[in-house]
Chain A
Amino acid sequence: MTHRTRTHSRPARGTLRVVALGAAAVMALTACAQDPVDNTPEAEQPAEGEEGEATIKFSWWGSDTRHELTQEVLDNFMEEHPDITVVPDFTDWGGYWDKLATTVAGGDAPDVITQEERYLRDYATRGVLADLSEFGDTLDLSNIDESILASGQMEGGQYGVPTGINAYAIVADPQVFADAGVEMPDDSTWTWDDYVEIAAEISANTPDGVYGAQDYGFNEPGFAIFARQRGEALYNEDGSLGFSPETLAEWWEISLRLQETGGTPSAAETVEIDAGGPEQSLVGLNQGAMSFFWTNQLGAITNAAGRDLVLLRHPGESEHERTGMYFKPAMFYSISATSEYPEAAATLVDYLLNDPAAAELLLSDRGLPANTEVRAEVQDQFAEVDQYSAEFLTDLEDEIVDGLPVPPVGAGEVAEITRRINAEVLFGRLSPMDAAEQFIAEVETATQG
């Protein structure tokens, strides 16, 4: 039963409604004004000093190891150049590009920006970056290998200087191979079938939770190599796609075979491992024998694993028409076109590239140093790991046919498309062929506008 007696303590009908309406309006209005999450603490901006003093911001991404090393280098730099203060601005890879885009849009771009090939063209063609060839003596580029230097050139300007070179390879844990009683493969002759077999065998011979391999399909450079082995390419010179859907489907079919034979973890585990980055990869956690990574990540992964790891060539390098592996500029240093202190920024880039003291600390963390003179000078001082990856890259020199063209505008989006469609394949929601067709359609849309 309901009573319709009026009580004085209850708010009147109209009031309640208006309160609800008002709250609704306010919440709806602020829908567009929600702040994105910024999970990295913004470094304190020191107060501007006297005239002649410059405060510049230097942004980079990477692992904890890299942050510590770089901070040390910056401390040395500031000691040598007391009139320049460098404010570090670092995040992990995932957060880096969101933050960079936001700060650039907000007119607060870092003075020295670390770039990557997938984004370099995006930023350069949109007028964000300064032409580095205009700094003359302040920024000496004469000792950088010509062919590598070219990877930072477009539209008649030098918009980025490669920090160093690296290659996409397999990081393997000999200990896991030994535990499984599986022989290390001869990486110059092994085929993709060998790879699948070896991975399955290791998984079978090790306790649960240890796998032969980590899924490779999340990163499109792996496919670029796969396509090159068949005489195709991920991107052509003009930025169009240079592979057939069949080739991409085959790449994912091998992925699925690995999963079915137990060589790689389940799809859900793969998604989780993938989110962990290099240090929490299967090899980094001593839970797997093989993961695909960049050679300059070997140091960080070795640190995480706590034991010696080796680098292996991709399977199939001698299986088809040609080899697929290539040298990639690990990353680029670039300078903001709107920098208040371009000279100071150029001085820092010059120091990072050409000063042996900087190279002695950074070693191969940003790739094998691009400055050939510096490389020769510090190579002896490389830690065992860096020495090892330097030798691995030197061995590759004769096998590598050519480099990759600069990826088209929008290539940054392709990383995400690859990751998502790869998950669709691993979870069995798309067949490899359908996935390949969807990938092509989406990448064409992304790189055309």
Chain B
Amino acid sequence: MAALGELASLRRSKGVKATPAPVERGDNKAALFFMAPWFIGLFLITAGPLIASLYLSFTDYSLLQPPNWIGFENYERMLGDTRLHNSLRVTFTYVFVSVPLQLAAALGLALLLDRGLRGLAIYRSVYYLPSLLGGSVAIAILWRQIFGTDGLINQVLGFFGIQGQGWVSHPDYALGTLVILNVWTFGSPMIIFLAGLRQIPDMYYEAASIDGAGKLRQFVSITVPLLTPIIFFNLVLQVIGAFQSFTQAFVVSGGTGGPVDSTMFYTLYLYKEGFENFRMGYASGMAWLLLAIVAAMTAVNFLLSKYWVFYND
């Protein structure tokens, strides 16, 4: 709702600012030509499957046989599916724990890197690296090794005389290792935070220090308020990304979502229902439920943003 308002106000302000310059026909064609790849991609790769999955969600499609229309049966089934409820619990826990931690880590490192270090470009690249690797299968396999019974973590703990255990194979800790994996991939929000920090004019800090404000005071009263739009942007993106996490859980748990469904992310359960248990119709319905959840979470984010995001205009 808020978003729609924003769009309207944007349109209004544009209308006031500038009247569109007359465009020649040829320019238009060129624009369409350059936009064509995006349009083709949208319709073939995104919109097509999207609409197909909406249709399939009302069928008993089993992957192997043609679908039959069954109305809302799949959606009714979701109400009683305890494994689905568990997967929602796991996913929400993951999102609510890992996203704030990840943003805090990203902001912390961005603040450190913003101090004009020598060789900043190198540090920036080094800290960005996990973001490129984090979603990959290789890192997830590495993670399984590091947190395994004979893994690196336990060897380090053993050095201090602590008897570790198989972290990824214990239902109480497995999800925690995935949270750590996600926090570790703080690179892209960090880069955005860095850019945001660069946008804050030095004169604010100068004025503040003349007024006698300390570093902490400056951080709380200048940096954070001026950074809230960036924090908000990162929050929205990371929440959406976290809801869709799949690879890490799939690989770390060996495709099982185990032990005892403790790493059964929503997307992983969706995948298993569709491709392993031959319930593609049900899985399609689940995809739409996820879409609704992500949309709702994003809407809530936008609504709440009124109360804490400070736009400096």
B176 an interface residue at 8 Å Cβ cutoff?
no
Q: Which residues of B contact A446 (CB under 8 A)?
A: 277
A275 an interface residue at 8 Å Cβ cutoff?
yes
How many angstroms between the C-alpha atoms of A4 and B298 in the bound complex?
Answer: 28
Q: Do B294 and A31 touch across chains, with their CB atoms under 8 A apart?
A: yes
How many angstroms between the C-alpha atoms of A268 and B151 in the bound complex?
Answer: 13
Residues facing B in A196-240 (CB within 8 A) are none
| CB-nearest residue of chain A to B53 | A32
How many angstroms between the C-alpha atoms of A36 and B280 in the bound complex?
Answer: 14
Q: Which residues of A contact B250 (CB under 8 A)?
A: 37
Q: Mark B253-280, 1 if CB is under 8 A from A, else 0.
A: 0111011110000010001100111101
| CB-nearest residue of chain A to B77 | A449
Q: Which residues of A contact B312 (CB under 8 A)?
A: 4, 6-7, 10, 13
How many angstroms between the C-alpha atoms of A33 and B43 in the bound complex?
Answer: 12
Q: Do A1 and B258 touch across chains, with their CB atoms under 8 A apart?
A: no
Q: Do A33 and B62 touch across chains, with their CB atoms under 8 A apart?
A: no
B94 an interface residue at 8 Å Cβ cutoff?
no
A257 an interface residue at 8 Å Cβ cutoff?
no
B165 an interface residue at 8 Å Cβ cutoff?
yes
Q: Which residues of A contact B260 (CB under 8 A)?
A: 420, 423-424, 427, 429
How many angstroms between the C-alpha atoms of A447 and B284 in the bound complex?
Answer: 21
How many angstroms between the C-alpha atoms of A97 and B274 in the bound complex?
Answer: 12
Residues of B in contact (CB 8 Å), total 76
A20 an interface residue at 8 Å Cβ cutoff?
yes
How many angstroms between the C-alpha atoms of A11 and B198 in the bound complex?
Answer: 12
Q: Do A271 and B50 touch across chains, with their CB atoms under 8 A apart?
A: no
Q: Do B240 and A34 touch across chains, with their CB atoms under 8 A apart?
A: no
B247 an interface residue at 8 Å Cβ cutoff?
yes
How many angstroms between the C-alpha atoms of A102 and B280 in the bound complex?
Answer: 11
Given A24-B237, A29-B50: A416 touches B199 (CB 8 Å cut-off): no
Given A101-B63, A271-B259, A412-B276: A12 touches B313 (CB 8 Å cut-off): yes
A123 an interface residue at 8 Å Cβ cutoff?
yes
Given A416-B276, A427-B171: A33 touches B64 (CB 8 Å cut-off): no
Q: Do B290 and A9 touch across chains, with their CB atoms under 8 A apart?
A: no
Q: Mark B163-206, 1 if CB is under 8 A from A, else 0.
A: 00110111100000000000000000000000000010100100
How many angstroms between the C-alpha atoms of A321 and B74 in the bound complex?
Answer: 44
| CB-nearest residue of chain A to B295 | A28
Q: Do B254 and A275 touch across chains, with their CB atoms under 8 A apart?
A: yes
Q: Which residues of A contact B259 (CB under 8 A)?
A: 267-268, 271, 423, 427
The listed residue (A7, A24, A268, A416) touching B256 by CB distance below 8 A is A416
Residues facing A in B213-246 (CB within 8 A) are 213, 221-222, 225-226, 229, 232-233, 236-237, 240-241, 243-244, 246
Q: Mark A48-91, 1 if CB is under 8 A from B, else 0.
A: 00000000000000000000000000000000000000000000
| CB-nearest residue of chain A to B213 | A1
Q: Do A30 and B64 touch across chains, with their CB atoms under 8 A apart?
A: no
Residues facing B in A1-22 (CB within 8 A) are 1-4, 6-7, 9-21
B45 an interface residue at 8 Å Cβ cutoff?
yes
Q: Do A21 and B222 touch across chains, with their CB atoms under 8 A apart?
A: no
Q: How far is the CB of B66 from chain A (nearest CB, A)?
A: 10
Q: Which residues of B contact A23 (CB under 8 A)?
A: 233, 236-237
How many angstroms between the C-alpha atoms of A102 and B62 in the bound complex?
Answer: 11
Q: Which residues of B contact A3 (CB under 8 A)?
A: 204, 207
A260 an interface residue at 8 Å Cβ cutoff?
no
| CB-nearest residue of chain A to B244 | A31
A266 an interface residue at 8 Å Cβ cutoff?
yes
Q: Do A94 and B199 touch across chains, with their CB atoms under 8 A apart?
A: no
Q: Do A14 and B276 touch across chains, with their CB atoms under 8 A apart?
A: no
B106 an interface residue at 8 Å Cβ cutoff?
no
Q: Do A10 and B233 touch across chains, with their CB atoms under 8 A apart?
A: no
A27 an interface residue at 8 Å Cβ cutoff?
yes
How many angstroms between the C-alpha atoms of A12 and B258 in the bound complex?
Answer: 46
B302 an interface residue at 8 Å Cβ cutoff?
yes
Q: Do A127 and B13 touch across chains, with their CB atoms under 8 A apart?
A: no
Q: How far is the CB of B306 from chain A (nearest CB, A)?
A: 11
Given A28-B291, A272-B148, A416-B276: A14 touches B13 (CB 8 Å cut-off): yes
How many angstroms between the C-alpha atoms of A16 and B199 in the bound complex?
Answer: 13
Given A13-B311, A14-B10: A24 touches B165 (CB 8 Å cut-off): no
Q: Do B311 and A20 touch across chains, with their CB atoms under 8 A apart?
A: no
A434 an interface residue at 8 Å Cβ cutoff?
no
A116 an interface residue at 8 Å Cβ cutoff?
no
Given A33-B45, A36-B275, A37-B137: A24 touches B298 (CB 8 Å cut-off): yes
Q: How far is the CB of B174 from chain A (nearest CB, A)?
A: 9
Q: Which residues of A contact B276 (CB under 8 A)?
A: 97-98, 101, 412-413, 416
Q: How far is the CB of B176 from chain A (nearest CB, A)?
A: 13
| CB-nearest residue of chain B to A21 | B3
Q: Which residues of A contact B207 (CB under 8 A)?
A: 3
Q: Do B213 and A27 touch across chains, with their CB atoms under 8 A apart?
A: no
How many angstroms between the C-alpha atoms of A61 and B277 in the bound complex?
Answer: 18
B76 an interface residue at 8 Å Cβ cutoff?
no
| CB-nearest residue of chain A to B311 | A13
A401 an interface residue at 8 Å Cβ cutoff?
no
Residues facing A in B284-299 (CB within 8 A) are 284, 287-288, 290-291, 294-295, 298
A104 an interface residue at 8 Å Cβ cutoff?
yes
A419 an interface residue at 8 Å Cβ cutoff?
yes
Q: How far is the CB of B292 from chain A (nearest CB, A)?
A: 9
The listed residue (A24, A32, A420) touching B258 by CB distance below 8 A is A420
Given A13-B229, A95-B255, A126-B65: A37 touches B166 (CB 8 Å cut-off): no
Which 3 pairs, one residue from A and one from B, show the smallest C-beta to C-beta distance? Answer: A13-B311, A271-B169, A268-B166
| Besides A2-B225, A31-B294, 8 other A-B contacts (C-beta < 8 A) | A3-B207, A23-B236, A32-B50, A97-B276, A123-B64, A127-B64, A268-B169, A416-B256
Q: Can you give 16 contacting A-B residue pairs, CB < 8 Å?
A: A1-B221, A1-B222, A6-B313, A17-B3, A23-B237, A31-B243, A34-B246, A36-B246, A101-B64, A101-B276, A101-B278, A268-B170, A272-B149, A419-B258, A423-B171, A423-B259
